[in-house]
Amino acid sequence: MLLDADESQLLLVDYQPRLLKALHQGEEALARAVLLAQVAQILAVPAWGTEQNPAGLGETAPVLQPLLRRRFTKMAFDATQADLVEALRPPAPPQRQGGNARSLPKHLQKPQPATAAPGRNIIVLAGFEAHVCLLQTALGLLEQEFDVWVVTDACASRRERDRDAAFDRLAGNGIELVTSEMVVFEWLGDAEHPDFREVHQLIK
């Protein structure tokens, strides 16, 4: 199975500068996250971010902030305990009761938030630290029945062994492990994509 940009959303977990300083290959992971977010913006893939205890750890890296639709503040390591899931999968319109259930008339339906991204069940995920917030969020999304893909070169932990153990555990739970360039080229599909040149310049 290949990634489809029209079915994907990007979630970047806790790219906060105060965390970054202590991480193994953290700057490289941030650069890969920026690439993913830039390509997501070009291809109209919704991109979201989370921030772990921003009062103590600061906000998302400034380079990422304008590329994200919304940032979710959290204290729990698993970001799905916040209101993130509602944004990733907004509730379906209420159905009428009866033999031939149909959608309510438009004037009776609850409007969807402007940032909602219905029908996109693939979550392309990366973040800090790989063995804590990234891991727990990935497993939380899996429990919520999302299709989760973790971008390994955009993830980091303080210790390389912790990061690698996280990847082993994620793979053992059926989560796809990919690299940022895998994601980018699968989102594009082929060299005739109208945005291929612009995206390729970012990679070069």
Using DSSP, state whether 26 is helix, strand or coil.
Answer: helix
Burial class from Cβ neighbours inside 10 Å (0-12, 13-18, 19+) for residue 107 reads exposed
CATH number of this structure's domain 5-90+112-203: 3.40.50.850
The domain spans of the chain are 5-90+112-203
Tell me how far apart the alpha carbons of residues 152 and 142 are, in angstroms, rounded to a whole number.
17
Residue 67 C-beta-side C-alpha neighbours within 13 Å: 24
Percent of the chain surpassing pLDDT 90: 75
pLDDT tens per residue, range 43-52? 999 999 999 9
Report pTM. 0.85
Residue 172 C-beta-side C-alpha neighbours within 13 Å: 7
Lowest-confidence pick of 28-37, 80-89, 91-100, 111-120: 91-100
What is the reported pLDDT for 117?
54
Return the closest-CA partner of residue 135 out of 161, 155, 158, 160: 155
Lowest-confidence pick of 50-64, 115-129, 173-187: 115-129
